[in-house]
Amino acid sequence: MTVEANSAPKDRVRIFDTTLRDGEQSPGATMTHAEKLEIAQLLDEMGVDIIEAGFPIASEGDFEAVRDIAKLSRDATICGLARANLTDIDRCWEAVKEARSPRIHTFIGTSPLHRAIPNLTMDEMAERIHQTVTHARNLCDNVQWSPMDATRTEWDYLKRVVEIAIKAGATTINIPDTVGYTAPVESADLIRRLIAEVEGGEDVIFATHCHNDLGLATANALAAVAGGARQIECTINGLGERAGNTALEEVVMAMRVRGDIMPFTTGIDTTKIMNISRRVATVSGFQVQPNKAIVGKNAFAHESGIHQDGMLKNAETFEIMRPADIGLAETSLVMGKHSGRAALRAKLKDLGYELGDNQLKDVFVRFKALADRKKEVYDEDLIALMTDAAMEAGNEHLKVKFLRVICGTEAPQSADLTLTVNGVDHQVTATGDGPVDATFNAVKQIFPHGARLQLYQVHAVTEGTDAQATVSVRMEEDGRIVTGQSADTDTVVASAKAYVAALNRLVVRRGKTGTDRKEVSYKDAG
């Protein structure tokens, strides 16, 4: 038996986070190098067992991110993804080999639909699986293998190729529900049957990787654990392609709250969930919907009179877990314009932000300016402020200096904008169909570009007419997708800053085309 398979109690479930790989593949969720390193550090600190840091062969940028995450890792195993070919696997090993605990994850699509893509017969695919898993194991003692679209693969063939992978040296067998097709009873039965009938199945860890196309990812993952899987592949906020992946926060808290029927444990420090959820939402540009389980804004909100009455008498009447369990402050209103630096530092530390003196000085100026415009400054306002400061820190090329808009019922609306480009101020007045459109037209007059606006979203940070607006912008140019975000009590100003933040990222990408993800396909696996 492998050391890994026996190194934890039978009720211990390993958490394999793929936010930086499968999550980042969600269209528009591309993160910068620094953001990937930050998220990886937060995952490590939270107690994630395995971090799938990326797809090293996809681009030079992906390779560098995986390599640097591997070098900086402390406790987590660092994993890279590789298709079933020697070039991919060699590149993956180069990226992860300096980790304290490296892992190679190689895969191939085994269902009839996926076998047709590389045009391989069953025997040819079986031979490739043997060859590539053997090669990976010769490089690394920790090898994970996945039969992509396993839940739509014929049972006899799935059993055959899983046995081949185990004999070739795979230490973890991951069973992906790639298109979110299966149901909980099937998920449990499939894992149970593999463990019972596959030769060598008792010597490896079986994992589950579920997508949420039918809204069943969490249920399917937990069912797989009940069936004997001891690794769950998941992402923060359920981020991922199409409808997303199993949400880490959901499976972890489900096992914690319902330990009576799911007697399993993880190594996750759940008090860190809220902070990393917010950071992933910020850097990916994918906001969490208010009614999202565990981390949604309304997850612990109670408006119904019956609910409020029950909460006042006994919180357990309508709350099965405490906000503090996931790192959510019990109260959010504590700051105002008379608060000092020490109070701000302490409050930001509670929210997960450790600031140096110079950082605090800059943030304190922003805080005071915000407090002068708002009577009450909530936790959400401070988080938006920190996000805005981080986004502006990278805006070296373009910066909004002055903006004034004229709007009303009579079109067209106009925007008077002063934009600083490489230290030089440029002023223009433009019109548009509304103040935001006029502002974006003004930016484009000063800084012409061919980027297409894919997404424009506005979220109120808190309640009230003086609430800050957080604006998210997603843009695409020549296959490069970037996001920008900003917050301000003036929605149009926030829009301008978010738009400019996205353009700044495009400028950086133009100069570093080697860091962009390239298209990879099954044909490349040949």
Contact 93/86 with Cβ under 8 angstroms?
Answer: no
Burial class (CB in 10 A: 0-12, 13-18, 19+), 191: buried
Please give the backbone phi and psi of residue 32, each rounded to the nearest 5 degrees, phi first: -75, 170
Is 211 annotated among the ligand-binding residues?
Answer: yes
Burial class (CB in 10 A: 0-12, 13-18, 19+), 361: exposed
Helices (H) then strands (E): counts for the chain: 17, 16
Instruction: List the alpha helices (DSSP H) in 258-332.
Output: 273-284, 305-313
Is 75 annotated among the ligand-binding residues?
Answer: no
SS3 of residue 14 by DSSP: strand
**Residues forming a β-bridge with 235:** 247
The Cα 287–Cα 222 span in angstroms is 25
Please give the backbone phi and psi of residue 59, each rounded to the nearest 5 degrees, phi first: -170, 165
The Cα 148–Cα 177 span in angstroms is 8
Buried b (16+ CB within 10 A) or exposed e, 72-111: ebeebbbbbbbbbbeebbbbbbbbbeebebbbbbbbbbbb
**Residues forming a β-bridge with 426:** 419
**Plot region of 169 (φ>0 → left; ψ -120 to 50 → alpha; else → beta):** left
Q: Give me the residue label for tokens 């800053």.
A: 497
Contact 433/456 with Cβ under 8 angstroms?
Answer: no
Q: How far is CA 41 from the centre of its chain?
A: 13
Contact 477/507 with Cβ under 8 angstroms?
Answer: no
Is 441 annotated among the ligand-binding residues?
Answer: no
**Angle at alpha carbon of residue 191, lines to 120 and 22, rounded to 5°:** 65
How far the first Cα of the chain sits from its last, in Å, is 32
| Structure token pair of residue 384 | 């938006």
Closest-CA residue to 233 (of 38, 46, 8, 50) = 50
**Residues forming a β-bridge with 79:** 52, 103
C-alpha R_g of the chain: 25
Residue 188 DSSP code: H
Contact 111/152 with Cβ under 8 angstroms?
Answer: yes
Is 357 annotated among the ligand-binding residues?
Answer: no
Closest-CA residue to 491 (of 454, 526, 466, 516) = 466
CA atoms within 13 Å, Cβ hemisphere of 254:
20
Binding site residue list for Mn(2+) = 22, 209, 211, 245
Binding site residue list = 22, 209, 211, 245
